[in-house]
Structure 1
Amino acid sequence: MRKTFSKLEDGYGSLEPLENIMFTPISGGEEAHQTIRNLNDHLGINIMFDSGGYEVQVGNNTFDDLQAYLHDFYADNHWGHRYVLPDNVPVSQDSPDVVEQKVKQTADISALFYRQMPDALQSRALAVVQGHTQDQLQHCLNKYASLDGLQHVGFGSFGTSGVSNGVNMLTTEAYYHLEWAVQQAHEAGLSVHAFGVGGPTSIPLLYHAGVDSFDTTSWMRSSGYGNVFFPFKSRYNASHRKNRSGKVLTKDELPHLKAETGHECPFCEEMSQLSSSRWNRVMHNLIVIQDMTNKVEDMTREEILEAMDEKSTYRRRLKKVTSPNKKKVSI
């Protein structure tokens, strides 16, 4: 964390891409906790404390352990910007009965947890909407709308894939559930955060679904595989190693791609920066995410579709959207 902030400040001259960050207390030790507290105190960033539902999702902790941990941590730490309430994440492989159980458990425990929170934190609480059907999503929303003073909810019911179901996917079904849930939440006066969804090509879909904020680690995760982002484009592989995903980015192609997308940053001035340094890829990808977050608000749906790769899966899904919902998105 220290290195990321240092490189961003020294190389980019601005901390804007990391002004709002999510931190998962249950996943970090005391040194990580102290580091994030120091960053908050010295830089004035906004910290969202994640519940750690992912740790339950991939089997690292039980839901009971998660509740107990958050109860103690939130009671002792009142300096966060948002406090995500405990959630038990249904995954794609769960049976309908298991999904139903997890959804009701999430809603019931979140409501109880919220009522037990210190009064000073309740306005900063964020309850997670889970479910694979509209009835399940509605159950969560109804429960949360009944909580006096609750202002924020998060959507976590994306498709899952990868090792231990650790990667969220914006499937077609998940998109329509998200769009519907956002509309219902906004009518109830609740803001909506989208949890942990992919790379830059997912941002237009989140924007048109109407979410108020989102988070992603794709800028860091993808760089480890040698991949780099450019606004509205699918990932490119810059490390030129075998068995790496993404289209190969060449030295000759880089200036044309930057000109086409209008992207400039200190970490991609030369091809060698991206091909030889994971840290340069990390910082470049982070800035691209921020660029797209800012740009998408000023573009029409048609302009976004034209900017995206013709064969992009998310482009095809966005093309089906008939009523864009103009809402601000941010990380």
Structure 2
Amino acid sequence: MLYRERTLSTQHGSVNTPILFPVRNIGTRSQDNTPEYIGEIPDLPTAMVNARAIRERESQWERLKQGADFRDELGAPDDAIIFADSGGFQFQEGPGAVDTTPAETLRTQEEIDADIYGTVDVPLSEECGPDERKRRIERSTDYALEASDQHSGDSLLFASVHGYDPEVIQNTLKYLDRQGDFDGFALGSLVPIGGQYERVTNIILAARKATDKHLHVYGLGGFLYLPLLLYLGVDSFDSSAFIRSASHRRYLVPGFRGEILRNISELEYLPCGCPVCRDRPLDDVRSDRNLLVQHNLWALTIELRRFRYAAASDRDIESYLRLRYQGNDVTLRAFKTAKQQVRGLA
């Protein structure tokens, strides 16, 4: 298998990889707002934030420019490790949609005091024709190289890379590695094709073959993908799945698919020993969205811990994944496809 454990060193501390970066939205309370978790879950000192969204939040942006500490704004400790992406997923509406520059995004990431900078990118979609897809890939590549030329300081720089063809992914990564100075790479545009597991698997494997540097995957750190990403040698991933699931009152359990809580009526306590569930009745968790969000994040953490445990105890990871995916034909088929290719690489 390609699973690997490393240490990612940043200006605010080091973290063992593979690691999840929970999407951390701040501002007014909404179904997308993230409750506090840093410090509550000891192996998640990490957060993913959107640089563009922060810059557009005028009152907060003014405070940051005047010297406010972003970690204080988050209610996070000084050693929280923050990955600030460019907000590129918002640039999908056409040629004029990109309303920032690499220089402006770098300044924003610096004001945030982020540990990891994601370069400005123009994501793909299934609706893009071949010419438009090629244009977006080239534009994202140019933005990454421009950021590399302008980047300085101790923060890590990850080039955001897009492509739906494994060969294009490999060629783009190798080109960026030759022409720029990057600490890692981040694969984007996979969420729109997330249901095509075999296709996504081939794209990630192409990236892993092209570089030994840190590899991040944007947006796919949910329950179904997480074990597969680990098996493929991905070093980090971000997710808002724990928030989105909770907004639909879906309760996540490692090894099972999420269940909508209104479908459960005869239990007094839920089947999880996390700090949220261990001594709270079902009705308390069902009625409090914040508790459900916190539990779902714990569930993702436990999924990651289980994989680490299986690897550390010299268990057969492939047998573990077959068991993990046995109830889902699509993901099981994707795993089998990945296994054939991984055995040729490992």
TM-score band by shorter chain is 0.7 to 0.9
Q: Find the residue that maps to 2:125 and give its secondary structure.
A: coil
Identify the residue that residue 124 of structure 1 maps to in structure 2.
156
1:288-307 superposed matches below 5 A: 288-299=299-310, 300-307=317-324
Identify the residue that residue 195 of structure 1 maps to in structure 2.
218
Q: Shift in Å at residue 91 of structure 1?
A: 0.8
Partner residue of 1:231 out of 243, 254, 270: 254
Distance 2:101 2:296 in 1: 32
Identify the residue that residue 127 of structure 2 maps to in structure 1.
93
Identify the residue that residue 284 of structure 1 maps to in structure 2.
295
Q: Find the residue that maps to 2:224 and give its secondary structure.
A: helix
List alignment gaps of at least 5 residues for structure 2. Answer: 1-25, 311-316
Partner residue of 2:281 out of 243, 267, 270: 270
Identity %: 19
Alpha-carbon displacement from aligned partner over 1:139-163 (angstroms, at most 9, x marks no partner): 32122211454221011141517xx
Identify the residue that residue 116 of structure 2 maps to in structure 1.
82
Identify the residue that residue 45 of structure 2 maps to in structure 1.
19
- State the Cα RMSD in Å: 3.0
Whether 1:102 and 2:136 are equivalent positions in the alignment is yes
Q: Find the residue that maps to 1:65 and give its secondary structure.
A: coil
Q: Shift in Å at residue 71 of structure 1?
A: 4.0
The residue type equivalent to 2:273 in the other structure is: E
Partner residue of 1:217 out of 240, 252, 255: 240
Distance 1:40 1:58 in 2: 34
Distance 1:79 1:40 in 2: 15
Q: Shift in Å at residue 83 of structure 1?
A: 0.4
Aligned residue pairs, count: 297
- Alpha-carbon spacing, 1:324–1:172, altered in 2? closer, same or farther (3 Å): closer
Higher RCO (C-alpha 8 Å, min separation 6): 2
- Alpha-carbon spacing, 1:132–1:148, altered in 2? closer, same or farther (3 Å): closer
Identify the residue that residue 252 of structure 1 maps to in structure 2.
267
List alignment gaps of at least 5 residues for structure 1. Answer: 162-167, 241-247, 327-331
Distance 2:238 2:44 in 1: 11
Q: Is the 8 A contact 1:26 1:69 kept in 2?
A: no
Q: Is the 8 A contact 2:170 2:209 kept in 1?
A: no
Q: Find the residue that maps to 2:297 and give its secondary structure.
A: helix
TM-score by length of 2: 0.76
The residue type equivalent to 1:128 in the other structure is: S
1:39-58 superposed matches below 5 A: 39=74, 42-57=77-92
- Alpha-carbon spacing, 1:81–1:325, altered in 2? closer, same or farther (3 Å): farther
TM-score by length of 1: 0.79
4+ runs of 1 displaced by more than 4 Å?
A: 1-7, 32-35, 323-326
Q: Shift in Å at residue 277 of structure 1?
A: 1.3
